[in-house]
Chain A
């Protein structure tokens, strides 16, 4: 009723990963787990692991903020292959 959405976070069913033209790739050796990429990601597509970060490719739109902001250049943007 009244266009209320009763399921919180239901947008998780909408995978925006297919928006990507480029995908971020994490070099785990270079990652110092500073979490800058995590806090800056507009799509919560950075997953915090014990010692490094992973990318949630289901939602990552390939904006490139993570790669651009990474202080150790641990993330590179590679062309998305279909």
Chain B
């Protein structure tokens, strides 16, 4: 149980970064830093987080941090983990160092899926955090494999014929579970107790652990910056983004939403879905989305029941 007053006040992710006002990634970085247990190294993929926090000669990071490229956070982390182990074998006295890879949905679901798959299959001891704002935000809000159905992005625009992204969000936890890793979980920074607990849990796993944390993007989702946390709370309260975990082969629902708000409330609050409401109320798409939310929720309940 995370008690806010007991969390360290030290900010290993310092102020002065240039993330947008209200960016979920700033909050997520800070929460992640509160969950560390000892010496830690961060490997970051290209994305908003990396770009805004390390503009030479400034860095917001107060721990060892490296950015290499877009698609290979998991591969780089694999190299880091094994190098520390190899050097220990040859007698270098360093003590254990935790390695955390951080990438966006772009660098994870799409271009980064190969490297993540390889790293999970090889079983390296690291935590992989996918900071998921549901599009390639850094390059200008283009769709990713994580973008929800019906969302307006610059490469899946809401046009006269096609109302936003035709495809559905990829199931990252399912992919991780298929690799048989010990721990994979979803999270939302609106629920800081759950997220911080999960980060620490992921660090403590001896092997690969993956957390997919939903990150609100005022610019890309088109909502007021003040409502960032509200957005990722609504995502959970509507069952749009279920909070659950896969641990040692068993699924567990962490936040049971017994009286869900209609998915429409999540959609209505964001400009990226505004074309579903004006000029015409797209009942067809909204119903489709609700059906998918319900089916996905039931699927997860079933997985949990069978565990």
Contacts and interface: CB of A to CB of B under 8 A. Distances in A.
Given A11-B16, A40-B229, A43-B15, A62 B59 contact: no
Contacts of B15: 11-12, 16, 43-45, 56, 58-59
Nearest to A61: B21
Interface in A9-56: 9-16, 19, 34-36, 38-45, 48, 56
B62 A64 contact: no
A34 B189 CA distance: 16
B142 interface: no
Contacts of B30: 39, 41-42, 44
Nearest to A21: B21
A74 interface: no
Contacts of B17: 11, 16, 43
A7 B189 CA distance: 29
Interface footprint category on A: 35 or more
Contact of A5 (B25, B27, B57, B63): B57
A63 B226 contact: yes
A39 B34 CA distance: 10
Interface string B215-232: 000100000111111100
Contact of B4 (A12, A39, A56, A67): A39
A9 B57 contact: no
B224 A64 contact: yes
A39 B192 CA distance: 8
A11 B14 contact: yes
B14 A12 contact: yes
B23 interface: yes
Contacts of A77: 226
B12 to A, nearest CB: 8
B27 A41 contact: yes
Contacts of A59: 15-16
A63 B62 contact: no
Contact of A63 (B4, B5, B14, B225): B225
B14 A64 contact: no
Contacts of A42: 19, 21-27, 30, 228
A11 B53 contact: yes
Residue from the set B24, B25, B57, B218 with the largest chain A CB neighbour count within 10 Å: B57
Contact of A40 (B9, B16, B27): B27
A81 B110 CA distance: 45
B229 A13 contact: no
B7 interface: yes
A43 B59 CA distance: 14
A40 B30 CA distance: 9
Contacts of B224: 64
Q: Among the interface residues B11, B189, B229, which one has the most CB atoms of the partner chain A within 10 A?
A: B229
B9 A48 contact: yes
A13 B16 contact: yes
Interface in B35-87: 53-54, 56-63
Contacts of A39: 4, 7, 27, 30-31, 192
Interface of A: 3, 5, 7-16, 19, 34-36, 38-45, 48, 56, 58-59, 61-65, 67-69, 77
21 contacts: A5-B54, A8-B63, A10-B59, A11-B15, A11-B60, A12-B14, A12-B15, A14-B16, A16-B16, A16-B18, A36-B4, A40-B27, A42-B25, A42-B27, A43-B19, A44-B14, A44-B30, A48-B9, A59-B16, A65-B22, A77-B226
